[in-house]
Amino acid sequence: MPITAVPVAVLAVCATSTMTVHAQGATETEFSFSFENDAGGWTAGFADLPVGFDQSIYELDSGYRQLPECLDGGGVYVQGHNRRDDLFMFLKKRVEGLRADTTYVVSISLDLATNVPAGSFGIGGSPGESVYVKAEASTAEPLIVEDNAAWLRMNIHKGNQATEGESMIVLGNVATPKWQAKSTGSRPWTTRIGP
């Protein structure tokens, strides 16, 4: 049965990602995504926005990019200006080759590069500690749907901010103490391995 993995990031580049799935009594299957040459089938999306939102104030952007000068390789870039404190940015990819009617245990790790320093202050919360990285493996494709109030929402129960959804968990935030600083002059970028 195909599942869709949904790691989420803000103002960040996902440099590598590994998803390991394990069925009871079976061997592990590992899916690795290096983003060496392209996005590897991962696509970005944005939710928790009003229908007909003004792109010039939300500044949504995504796509495959080379990492900043101090880091090697490429990654999937996701950016947005969180005007209403609930912007949800995500990456998703359909994973093939799993058996139907089988329960899997899924483990996800990723390398994330961000230029958001820890301990910063902002309207609505810290741009680092108040921006959460979540992950989910789902049998339903995550889609953006319009709700009754004319907002673009997810069709999956993702939870909001630090609250987890039915199957979406919080891996951390974009300014955790596990980051190691690297410098590109006036724009520091940092990386982290694992959840």
Average per-residue pLDDT for the chain: 76
Query: Could you give phi then psi for residue 58, rounded to 5 degrees?
Result: -90, -25
Amino acid 59: pLDDT: 92
Of the two residues 177 and 139, the one the predictor is more confident about is 139
Contact 76, 13 (CB under 8 A): yes
Q: What gap in Å lies between CA 34 and CA 148, rounded to an integer?
A: 39
As a whole number, mean pLDDT of residues 149-154 equals 96
pLDDT at residue 129 is higher than 50? yes
Annotate 35-65 with three-state secondary structure.
Answer: CCCCCCCCEEEEECEECCCCHHHHCCEEEEE
pLDDT at residue 10 is higher than 60? no
Residue with tokens 């990654």: 75
Q: What gap in Å lies between CA 22 and CA 193, rounded to an integer?
A: 21
pLDDT-wise least confident of 46-50, 87-91, 142-146, 184-188? 184-188
User: Rounded to whole angstroms, what are the CA distances from 5 to 39, 41, 90, 192?
Assistant: 14, 11, 10, 19
As a whole number, mean pLDDT of residues 55-75 equals 87
The H or E element containing residue 18 is strand 12-23
Q: What gap in Å lies between CA 150 and CA 53, rounded to an integer?
A: 10
pLDDT at residue 190 is higher than 60? no
